[in-house]
Structure formats: structure tokens, C-alpha cells
Amino acid sequence: MESWRERISLNPAICHGKACIRGTRVMVSVIVDNLAAGVSHQDILRSYPALIGADIEAALSYAAELTREGTVTLPLETRA
């Protein structure tokens, strides 16, 4: 698979600078949110006709990169 960097773009003039699939206004977060909610790849592609399968894979790769390189404050678990 090609690098997610070839499919994801950031532009302050598009979607307030949020990560989007290059050439669209579909934010990576929308794709990842849909996948997390159990929406199938096929349903996402039907809902966003500008996308192709490689765009979904790029969104996941980008999200994985953020989890490796970014930081997020998570709540502490109180259960052992």
C-alpha cells in the first residue's frame, strides 16, 4: 500500500485545517468514527462517493501513526 502521506492532506482553508482525504472535504476523523461505530467499508464508500478503498486504509494508517507519535490524556482506571 502507498503511504498515507500521499492520500491525507492538511489545509487551513479546508475543514478548519483538519486532516482530510486529499482532494475531498472528507475528514479522516469521520472515516475513523464510522469504522469505530461498526460501519462497513462498503457503506462508507457508498456514503462518500469521492472515496476509494485506499482512502479508508490511509485514514486508518494515519490514525495508527497518531497513536504511536501523538499523546492523548486518558482517564485513569479505578478497577484492578
CB atoms within 10 A of CB 68: 6
pTM for the whole thing? 0.83
Q: Where are the domains of the chain?
A: 4-65
Q: Which amino acid is at 62?
A: Y
Assigned CATH topology for domain 4-65: Arc Repressor Mutant, subunit A (1.10.10)
pLDDT, one tens digit for every residue, the chain (80 residues): 578 889 999 888 889 989 999 999 999 999 999 999 999 999 999 999 999 999 999 999 999 988 887 765 656 556 55
Alpha carbon 49 to its chain's center: 16
pLDDT of residue 65: 87
